[in-house]
Amino acid sequence: MNIYEKLVECALDSQKMAYTPYSNFKVGASVLTDSDKIYGGCNIENASYTPTVCAERVAIFKAIYNGEKKIKKIAVVGKENFFTYPCGVCRQVIREFCTNDCEIIIIKNKEEYKVIKFSELLPYSFGPEDL
């Protein structure tokens, strides 16, 4: 199994853990860190909506909590047979921990996904080096 297949599998497994009683829109994500560890995450909703957290951020924050500092790849899956992209907040969080050439794997289903560079997802981004 190649690294893309592992990330897709982790994101799909993570999606099953989503807590979405309000939207029923389950999202899973996985990240590959510089140390080649994979962390999964799912979206977690809240009745007041604002405290809801996206799958991408859960996966990234789990990695950071475990001592990781850089993300090499991130995979995202949402509605089956549709390409679901990270929201604006997640794009900015991803930017904090990856470079412009970080690969973003957008999953349509287990067999179909596309890989894009982060710079395509958030061109002209603001990152740590801009401070």
SS3 75: strand
Judged on CB neighbours under 10 Å (0-12, 13-18, 19+), 59 is: buried
Among 56, 80, 111, 112, the one annotated catalytic: 56
The sign of the torsion formed by the CA atoms of 89, 96, 32, 123 equals positive
Nearest to 34 by CA among 11, 64, 8, 4: 64
Active site residue 68: no
**Crossing angle for the helix pair 55-65 and 3-15, to the nearest 10 degrees:** 110
CB 101 within 8 A of CB 68: no
Q: Active-site residue numbers? A: 56
